[in-house]
Amino acid sequence: MRVCDDLDFGIAREWLAENPGRKACGYLPVYAPKEVILASGLLPVGIHGGGDRLEIIRGDAFYQSYICHLPRSVIELAQTGRLDFLSALLFPSTCDVIRNLSGMWKVMYPDVVVRYLDLPQVTGTETGGLFWEGEMRGLLRDLGAVSGRPAGEDDIRQAIRLCNSLRSMVRELYRVRRERPWAVPTEELYSLLRAAEVVPVETFLDKARAYLAAAEEQPGARKDKSRVIVAGAFCEQPPLGLIKTIERAGCYIVDDDFLLGNRFLMSDVPTDGDPVRQLTNALLHDTVRSPVLFEASQDGKRRLMKERVEAARADGIIFAAASFCDPALLDRPMLRAGAEADAIPCIAFQFSENTGQFQQFREQAGTFADSIKLWGDNE
Ligand code: SF4
């Protein structure tokens, strides 16, 4: 079984068996400071739901029908014992659903250390900065108690260096895909990055280097496809079948929001000075723009998709949000209006992580790709 398909988190369990006394800390989407988890001596494990491989039996009882699918499958994973290897679990303030899930976790799993991470929505050093710095110092204290190895400044610097390598590798993978999407199909890139959420960072770096070398050696043949950005799937992830469907319908995906936490901080975090302050400054001033963080200027949102299209040299945008995803669906009208004002071709649909029928998406994406080729202003 491929690592990214393993709902029993076999690699993480193996790591724990091979490292007696060590523990694992999970995190929900979108952004949690992995550096803090690593510096505390814990294995970070991304929890992104059960996708289309998990039958929901108990999870539906916890949520109304008008709530997205991700929390149901996370509950299902827990209720079936698949998350019992986690000693701590972090719930970022991505939306109210995840916030509420953190409260439920505290009640249902009192032995797990649960922390809700309230990401600052203002970027002033004396406001959001002081707040987030305090949150991270508190998290370091709490996770240090879990591991029994409280992190010192050098541990945090070392973790920052490791995460800088991870971010740099993700940037490189995205760069190569942008340049030669036929050599790095998103189907493969996504599987690699999904696996990166559950394996030690060093393991991911080794696999990613090997993957890039193989893509260099055998780049495959360029096809006459339209270059598209898939926007809006930053939390609940689409099934791999949907990504394959979009690509096979005549699109090269050249930018996306999938697994956004792995590049939430856009540049390397400096390792000089106070490392917690450096992480704080990175979150205040160097994050990817997304519905997860407040942006006061609506004009900025209206311009965002044009900027992304230019950076990726895309021909069009597929707005693909999880059904009932408030942050994505609230931003979509502004993003789409801005894109259409700039005459960027767009289509939109909603998915669920367990969507099993792709015919409708195939037709929509195929028609979109054809229309760009027929009437678009592409080379
Ligand atoms: S998919 Fe959207 S609504 Fe659901 S948990 Fe994620 S951000 Fe919240």
* Predicted confidence (pLDDT) per residue in 31-82, tens digit: 999 999 999 999 999 999 999 989 999 889 998 889 999 999 999 999 999 9
Average the pLDDT over 345-361 and give the result. Answer: 95
Distance of alpha carbon 327 from alpha carbon 234, whole angstroms = 10
CA of 17 to the centre of ligand 1 (A): 33
Average the pLDDT over 301-312 and give the result. Answer: 95
For residues 233 and 208, is the Cβ–Cβ distance under 8 A? Answer: no
CA of 148 to the centre of ligand 1 (A): 33
User: Which residue's CA lies nearest to atom 8 of ligand 1?
Assistant: 95
| pLDDT the model gives residue 92 | 98
- Candidates 15, 18, 2; CA nearest to 44 is 15
Flag whether pLDDT at 326 surpasses 90: yes
Average the pLDDT over 131-145 and give the result. Answer: 98
Cβ-Cβ contacts under 8 Å for 42 (sequence gap 6 or more): 22, 23, 24, 25, 87, 88, 143, 146, 147
Q: Where are the domains of the chain?
A: 3-152
- Candidates 174, 137, 171; CA nearest to 156 is 137
Ligand 1: which residues within 6 Å by Cβ? Answer: 68, 70-71, 94-95, 97-98, 235-236, 322, 325-328
Topology of the domain covering 3-152: Rossmann fold (3.40.50)
For residue 350, give the DSSP letter: E
> Can you say how many angstroms the Cα of residue 308 is from the centroid of all Cα atoms in its chain?
17
| pLDDT the model gives residue 80 | 96
Look over the chain and give the mean of its residue pLDDT values, rounded to a whole number.
95
Average the pLDDT over 1-26 and give the result. Answer: 94
> Can you say how many angstroms the Cα of residue 321 is from the centroid of all Cα atoms in its chain?
13
pTM: 0.96
For residues 39 and 278, is the Cβ–Cβ distance under 8 A? Answer: no
Counted residue by residue, the chain has a size of 379
Average the pLDDT over 107-128 and give the result. Answer: 95
Instruction: Please give the sequence-ordered ranges of beta strands (E in DSSP) within the chain, or none if there are none.
Output: 24-27, 43-46, 86-92, 113-117, 226-231, 251-256, 316-322, 346-351
Q: For residue 333, what pLDDT band results from cuts at 50, 70 and 90?
A: very high
For 148-198, the pLDDT digits (tens) are 999 999 999 999 999 999 999 999 999 999 999 999 999 999 999 999 999
